[in-house]
Chains A and B, each alone.
Chain A
Amino acid sequence: MAPQTEVKPMDKLAKRLHEDAERIEVSVSDELDRRIEASLLAVTPETTRQRPVASARPPLFWWASTITGIAAAVAVIAIVNWQAPDQPVADVPLNIVAAVPAIDLKTEAAVLTSPLHEELDNLQSDLKKAEEKVRRDIGL
Chain B
Amino acid sequence: MTDELQLIAAAKAGSAEAFCDLAKLYRERLLRFLLTRCASFADAEDVLQDTLIAAFRYIHSYDARWRFSTWLYRIAIRNAAKLRGPDLVEVGDLRDEENDPLLQCIAASETENLWVNARQLLNDEVFTAMWLRYAEDMSVNDISKTLDRSASWTKVNLMRGRRTLESKMSGATDRSEAYG
Contact = CB atoms under 8 A, between A and B. Distances in A.
A is bound by B: yes
A46 B106 CA distance: 39
Interface stretch (B57-65, B69-77, B78-86, B144-152): B57-65
Nearest to B17: A41
A48 B60 contact: yes
B28 interface: yes
Given A39-B49, A41-B16, A21 B106 contact: no
Interface residues of B, number: 41
Interface of B: 11-12, 14, 16, 19-20, 23, 27-28, 31-32, 35, 45, 48-49, 52-53, 56-61, 102, 105-106, 108-109, 113-115, 118, 130-131, 134-135, 137, 162, 165-166, 169
* Nearest 7 A/B pairs, CB to CB: A21-B135, A17-B134, A26-B32, A20-B114, A20-B113, A41-B16, A24-B105
Contact of B134 (A14, A37, A46): A14
A32 B27 CA distance: 10
B32 A21 contact: yes
B56 to A, nearest CB: 5
Contacts of A46: 57-58, 60
Chain B contact residues: helix, strand, loop or mixed:
helix
A26 B58 CA distance: 27
Interface residues of A, number: 29
A45 B31 contact: no
A45 B58 contact: yes
Chain A contact residues: helix, strand, loop or mixed:
helix
A46 B56 CA distance: 9
Contacts of B58: 45-46
B31 A28 contact: yes
Given A10-B162, A27-B28, A21 B14 contact: no
Q: For A10, A16, A35, A48, which residue has the most chain B Cβ atoms within 10 angstroms? A: A16
Contacts of A24: 32, 35, 102, 105-106, 113, 115
Given A32-B49, A44-B14, 9 more contacts: A17-B165, A23-B113, A24-B32, A24-B113, A27-B28, A28-B48, A36-B20, A36-B53, A43-B56
